[in-house]
Amino acid sequence: MKRKTALFFVCLLALGNFVLAQKKKIGTETPEQKKKRMEWWTDSRFGMFIHWGLYAMPARHEWVKHNESLTDAQYQPYFDLFNPDNFDPKLWAKQAKAAGMKYAVLTSKHHEGFCLFDSKYTDYKAVNTPAKRDLIKEFVNAFRAEGIRVGFYYSLIDWHHPQFPIDRLHPSRPKPESDSAYDRMNQHRDMAAYRQYMRNQITELLTNYGKIDILWLDFSYPGKRGKGRDDWGSVELLKMIRKLQPGIIVDNRLNLEEYEDGQDFETPEQVKVEELAKYHGKYWETCQTFSGSWGYHRDENSWKSTQELLRLLIGSVSNGGNLLLNVGPTARGEFDQRAQNALANIGKWMHGNSRAIYNCTYAPAAFKTPENTMLTYHPASNRLYVHLLEYRKSLVLPGYKGKVKYAQFLHDNSELRIAKQEGEDVVLNLPAQKPDVEIPVVELVLQ
């Protein structure tokens, strides 16, 4: 009897733990079905983020309206004068493709509220500026024509919509802050009305432009004077999105962390490569800028070097994730020269080395990372890639004895002979002269 009671409690405890460990679910997709849906994205590894809006005109950060507490009236000249006369998305698509990017995500609306697309629900759109047209439509057509998958960024936040309740991030937040000041300002603002506006616009984006591969919603900041899932109506919104575009991939910024399927991938923003190891085994994409701000910033001088950009790309793949690298086109509709150069340099490297990026992930645990290198691994061909961050005349592969069948440089398939085995290590001879490759890659055909 005693034993039976004990057993009963053990079972109860186990059941309790099981229930606690289970996260809530919104849909019915299995992990295998998700894996399949995510496959093209996981294989692609490299995409282009594009932040483009009225903020390209002040050219001093896409948060300029917030940073400088600008009023609608002060922001109005950017709308009245927005005239991207050199906008040629075919050129953007060609540059993205040459850099090796497989998908692109463009801001259909950023926090400023301005829409690049032709929406029935607002006048605050490109069609009503001197640009006079639906810029999203041209983007979608041009990128698809180059075989690049298309995604939309859509800001949940809206600093222009008259119904969007003023919160701690809003450009016209009261100073000094007090509950009564907020109440006074929000008297005639109605979140339910804004919620409907968002649903209407997202419906337009997901019905008027054909198949959309990614929706990148940005962002939640729950808590006092913030906004989160209840404000956005996130659960219902996500259901609607999946119904309109069943195959679509959605980011994790709807504040649905408590649901197992409340997001498709995580979005570590502007993090260092060292911080990416903790994401192994998950779906994730790190988004990164060339120089700090996402929108075009004329005076920012903190541009990353080609070496740094490649380390971000390789570092992402070597930790099992994607890199979404951002370009902020100018108000004339072009990638500025610094961005063009950076993309071209990445493209030059990718031309010889993309085999170590696409369809790749982190190395199996049996392979230690040689000093001053990063490893990527191509499971389908069982090849390991050693990215040489610092060039030297020989490469020690620690504990690789008996594991390597053949070694070559990836950019030209030129053989690298095994110089010797030392204990469990394999030592490769490299040419004295570093090849003309920013980060040379050694391809190991494994046993």
Report the interface residues with ligand GLC, using CB under 6 A. Answer: 51, 62-63, 218-219, 269, 287, 294
CB nearer ligand GLC, residue 287 or residue 444: 287
Quick one: which of 63, 51, 59 has its CA closest to 300? 59
CB nearer ligand GLC, residue 50 or residue 386: 50
CB nearer ligand GLC, residue 29 or residue 269: 269
In whole angstroms, the minimum distance from the beta carbon of 157 to ligand GLC comes to 8
In whole angstroms, the minimum distance from the beta carbon of 374 to ligand GLC comes to 24
Enter the tokens of residue 180.
Answer: 């009564």
In whole angstroms, the minimum distance from the beta carbon of 151 to ligand GLC comes to 13
CB nearer ligand GLC, residue 122 or residue 155: 155
In whole angstroms, the minimum distance from the beta carbon of 31 to ligand GLC comes to 26
In whole angstroms, the minimum distance from the beta carbon of 386 to ligand GLC comes to 31
Cis peptide before 46, with omega less than 30 degrees from 0? no
In whole angstroms, the minimum distance from the beta carbon of 294 to ligand GLC comes to 5
CB within 8 Å of 221: residues ≥ 6 apart: 167, 168, 169, 227, 228
In whole angstroms, the minimum distance from the beta carbon of 314 to ligand GLC comes to 21
CB nearer ligand GLC, residue 169 or residue 185: 169
Burial tier of 225 (Cβ tally within 10 Å: 0-12, 13-18, 19+): middle
Query: How far, in Å, CA of 75 to CA of 168, rounded?
Result: 19
Task: Report the DSSP pairing between strands 394-397 and 404-409.
Answer: unpaired
In whole angstroms, the minimum distance from the beta carbon of 164 to ligand GLC comes to 15
CB nearer ligand GLC, residue 169 or residue 404: 169
Q: Are 194 and 161 in contact (CB under 8 A)?
A: yes
Residue in the structure block whose two tokens are 């991207």: 84
CB nearer ligand GLC, residue 51 or residue 242: 51
In whole angstroms, the minimum distance from the beta carbon of 261 to ligand GLC comes to 22
CB nearer ligand GLC, residue 63 or residue 385: 63
CB nearer ligand GLC, residue 111 or residue 311: 111
CA atoms within 13 A of residue 415's CA, in its CB half-sphere:
5
The alpha carbons of the chain give a radius of gyration, in whole angstroms, of 25
In whole angstroms, the minimum distance from the beta carbon of 229 to ligand GLC comes to 16
Query: How far, in Å, CA of 312 to CA of 306, rounded?
Result: 10
In whole angstroms, the minimum distance from the beta carbon of 26 to ligand GLC comes to 23
In whole angstroms, the minimum distance from the beta carbon of 287 to ligand GLC comes to 5
CB nearer ligand GLC, residue 254 or residue 441: 254
CB nearer ligand GLC, residue 292 or residue 364: 292
